[in-house]
């Protein structure tokens, strides 16, 4: 998909989507752990993104059995939980991770703490 245009003015593609396409990133596996409020997203690059299940209304109410009934969609661009009608995207996971890291860094600077990234 190329740049979009509004009234003949091109708009740059979303930087997260551009990175996903350039790097060929895809979700390889999703590991939900309800007892510790964790949703681990394993990428084909070997990276692991983490999210809290409680951040997703439908997932936080789900049983362990329901959480395990997911499938990849869009060739690894997202995950779908059929019984809960829940779709989550790789783009959304990356966006949320970038926002979290930015807030952690800013909060650390405001309180005189040093936060090192990997």
DSSP string, 37-97: TEEEEEETTS-EEEE-GGGSHHHHT--HHHHT-EEEETTTTEEEEGGGTEEEEHHHHHHHH
Q: What is the pLDDT of residues 105-118, one digit of tens each?
A: 888 765 554 444 44
Please tell me whether residue 30 adopts helix, strand or coil conformation.
strand
Mean pLDDT value across residues 77-95:
94
Model confidence at 6, in pLDDT bands (50, 70, 90)? Answer: low
Range with the poorest average pLDDT among 8-12, 37-41, 58-62: 8-12
Q: In what order do the strands lie in the sheet with 38-43?
A: 27-33, 38-43, 48-51
Distance of CA 28 to the CA centre of its chain: 13
Q: What is the mean pLDDT of the chain?
A: 86
pTM: 0.76
What domains appear along the chain, each with residue ranges and CATH number? 12-110 (3.30.2020.40)
Question: What residues are paired with 49 via a beta bridge?
Answer: 41
């Amino acid at each position: 998909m190329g740049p979009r245009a509004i009234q003949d003015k091109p708009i740059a593609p979303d930087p997260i989507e551009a990175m996903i396409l350039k790097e060929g990133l895809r979700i390889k596996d999703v590991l939900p752990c309800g007892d510790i409020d964790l949703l681990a997203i394993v990428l084909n690059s070997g990276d692991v993104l983490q999210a809290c299940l409680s951040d997703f209304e439908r997932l936080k109410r789900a049983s362990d059995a329901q959480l395990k009934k997911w499938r990849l969609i869009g060739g690894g661009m997202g995950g779908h939980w059929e019984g809960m009608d829940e779709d989550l995207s790789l783009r959304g996971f990356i966006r949320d991770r970038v926002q979290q890291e930015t807030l952690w860094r800013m909060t650390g600077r405001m309180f005189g703490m040093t936060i090192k990234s990997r």
